[in-house]
Structure 1
Amino acid sequence: MRFIQILLIVILLQSCTAQDKKINGVSFVAHRDSITQKNINPLLNINANYAAIMPFAMVRHLEHPVVNFDAERQWFGETILGGKQYINTLKNNSIDAMLKPQIWVRKGEFTGFLKMKSDEDWLTFEKTYSKFILTFAKVAQDTKTPIFCIGTELEQFVKARPEYWFNLIKDIREIYKGKLTYAANWNEFEKTPFWDQLDYIGVDAYFPVSDSKTPTVAECLKGWVLHKTTLKSFSEKFNKPILFTEFGYRSIDYAAKAPWTVDRVAENVNLEAQVNTTKALFEAFWKEDWFAGGFVWKWFINHDKVGGVDNNRFTPQNKPAETLIKEHYKVN
């Protein structure tokens, strides 16, 4: 009897530890080439245990009703074959994946504004989007990928066609048996109607938290208070963990004022701003039991050729923020 009691305690403790382990992820940008061990080693170095794999489909403009994917001219990492190769190579290194197929609108227009002009166009768009998503749902199932993301920042699509999304989720569940999420933009997630059908409340966490040129950790923590309260309430309402499907800051002045900004600016590198904003996000969320973790935006496969102290873009690679992430992921 004593042995059985001890065994049950051990099993319970192991279960709790597994549940408490955060998703310490990166958004692994698709490349023209396959990946090798050289591309994985930098992920191991920062103690990442997850990577978001992001095959893209192309749409000509915000009102174009056809979603094209797995095309001959696309980069290898954006294709079906490439997605499988990336996931399996990561798996061989004990790094799990979230498969996150996304839409790219020509000229980089914001996917949240995708909206068709007629019911006929909506039906065409839905048919081709379903083909895209269900194809990669099968990839996720075949590769035993733990998390599948059904869409990213598609606010107008979700708003205009909610019934479609409920049906899409049912269709995905027929193919894929892992956990599902959707990557809602920071100002979209409160309006997303199908969280009760998913396993994670996915949020691309570009919340504004400070207007300062070089925000301090304390300022950012103060700026997070209201957003954090809302996120916690959402988690409790749906009894689902919050997952930051994307999070990150540029190494630039005013990094926390409008973190979603992607405009190319040739100056104002601010490495301290990137470190402070990232550290505050870690401090605000990673110890919360209702928070599952997240994926840094973004991480390129050719680590030795990207980022650096003269780079003001999102990637933390070869910047002080990379060291911060490495230290944080090691202990969480």
Structure 2
Amino acid sequence: MLFYNFIMNTKPVRMMAQTVLSNMVLLGALSGALSPPSAHARSPIPIPDIYEDGYVAAVWNFRNDEAKALKTMKRIAATGAKRFIIPYFGCQKDVTSSAVGTCEVKMPVTPAFLAKMAALAGMKPSYLPLVITPDWKWRGYFKPDDVDEWFKSYTGWLVPIAREAQRLGMRELVAGTEFSILYKYENKWRELVRTLRKTFTGAILVTVNWDDINHNFWDEFDAIGMSAYFPLSRVDNPPQEELDKAWRKKHRELLKHFAKWQRPIEFTEVGYPSVPHAARTPWASPSKDSPQDLALQARCFEAFRKAWHGEKNLARLTVWATGDPSSQDARLGFETIGKPAEKSISRFFEERSHLR
């Protein structure tokens, strides 16, 4: 499915400009673009329903059929998932545009429809706003010609989403996802979240990409959000010991790095495709001729489970992504339901349900 491939191919582009983005963030820090930690940091809003984990919706695999959607939602809930995170798409014409909302995003179902179906299945929905371009360029590349105008436009797009989330009783909202270049304007993000708090009373966070964690705005948010596509190996199909060691090391590094902010971590995306490169480049969608490797996908999730077992500083995990496990796209992709990986994920959900 071309539409599916467009969306899932937003993952591979993340590695193409890592060096450039890292240098830009460093230059921003040296020029004073990064704000120092506040001397009077606000107390965070407690993360609602902490330790309740779940899935991100593969929106493109749903249809406007309540009976079928509810059946799918109940199957997702049967994994032990308590949360269902719904991408809410916006669009700008290209990576240099300063206007969010200048193009249309057509999805087969509305976010509100999925929120209703998830709630009927016993899960708690929340929104994950995502801005795209017509050719699905990654948000980490966004470099608007007019930064002030972009933030004004983005805020104007996001406030109605926050208002809808508030009306639907959602208790958590992601204010930004993987804006690796734009996150250097930390005071702009502080202004944005303060505006959102006038509308939305729940917890608010932003999500950074796995290779973009050095920011000083965390005191403004209620949790530290992250897309956790960390490479676990340099080779295809590595041994389990290597996977376990990689996640244990990352667990230690992240807790140490973020300790001073006194905020819990949320992995808003963790995912592995069902192919041999899953541990080496977990963000990369498979090609249609890739061989299937269900065992490696499962082993990557098992390494994650063991590394984060019992960790109370991890507020939430949401797995990327699920929609229609029976679809052809699910065979090689990030789908885990109905695959061996589901066992490790369900076990993690169950173990976490006992944390308090």
Give the TM-score, by structure 2 length. 0.78
Counterparts of 1:205-284 in structure 2, within 5 Å, are 205-262=228-285, 264-284=287-307
> Is residue 139 of structure 1 aligned with residue 160 of structure 2?
no
Contact 2:84/2:125 (8 A) holds in 1: yes
Deviation, structure 1 residue 21: 5.5
Contact 2:309/2:348 (8 A) holds in 1: no
Report the aligned-residue RMSD. Answer: 2.3
Deviation, structure 1 residue 124: 2.7
- Distance in 1 (alpha carbons) for counterparts of 2:120 and 2:78: 15
Deviations 1:82-139 (A, max 9, x none): 222322332233211231110112322221010023xxx2233222211121111111
Counterparts of 1:1-332 in structure 2, within 5 Å, are 22-31=51-60, 33-34=63-64, 35=66, 36-68=69-101, 71=104, 74-77=106-109, 82-117=110-145, 121-159=146-184, 161-189=185-213, 191-262=214-285, 264-300=287-323, 302-306=324-328, 311-332=331-352
- Distance in 2 (alpha carbons) for counterparts of 1:193 and 1:70: 32
- Distance in 2 (alpha carbons) for counterparts of 1:275 and 1:214: 11
Deviations 1:175-233 (A, max 9, x none): 101111111100112x2331111111011001111223212332112112332222112
- Distance in 1 (alpha carbons) for counterparts of 2:254 and 2:187: 25
Deviations 1:284-312 (A, max 9, x none): 11411111121111111x3333555xx22
Letter of the 2:191 counterpart: N
Overall identity of the aligned pairs, in %: 23
Contact 1:33/1:75 (8 A) holds in 2: no
Deviation, structure 1 residue 70: 9.3
SS in structure 1 at match of 2:53: strand
Contact 1:55/1:102 (8 A) holds in 2: yes
Contact 2:59/2:86 (8 A) holds in 1: yes
Contact 1:53/1:97 (8 A) holds in 2: yes
Deviation, structure 1 residue 60: 1.9
- Distance in 1 (alpha carbons) for counterparts of 2:121 and 2:111: 16
Contact 2:92/2:99 (8 A) holds in 1: yes
Letter of the 2:210 counterpart: W
Letter of the 2:70 counterpart: Q
Deviation, structure 1 residue 67: 1.1
SS in structure 2 at match of 1:155: coil
- Distance in 2 (alpha carbons) for counterparts of 1:255 and 1:303: 18
Contact 2:286/2:332 (8 A) holds in 1: no
The residue number in structure 2 matching 1:11 is: none
Q: Label 1:250 to 1:114 Cα distance change in 2 as closer, same or farther (>3 A).
A: same
Contact 2:76/2:337 (8 A) holds in 1: no
Contact 1:88/1:143 (8 A) holds in 2: no
- Between the two structures, name the one with larger relative contact order (CA 8 Å, sep ≥ 6): 2
- Distance in 1 (alpha carbons) for counterparts of 2:50 and 2:190: 30
Contact 1:96/1:146 (8 A) holds in 2: no
Larger proportion of helix: 1
Letter of the 1:138 counterpart: R
Letter of the 2:63 counterpart: D
SS in structure 2 at match of 1:68: coil
Segments of structure 1 that go 5 or more residues without pairing to the other structure are: 1-17
Contact 1:216/1:276 (8 A) holds in 2: no
Q: Label 1:158 to 1:177 Cα distance change in 2 as closer, same or farther (>3 A).
A: same
SS in structure 2 at match of 1:260: coil
Q: Label 1:234 to 1:133 Cα distance change in 2 as closer, same or farther (>3 A).
A: farther
Deviation, structure 1 residue 321: 1.4
Contact 1:24/1:295 (8 A) holds in 2: yes
Q: Size of the alignment, in residue pairs?
A: 302
Contact 1:235/1:290 (8 A) holds in 2: no
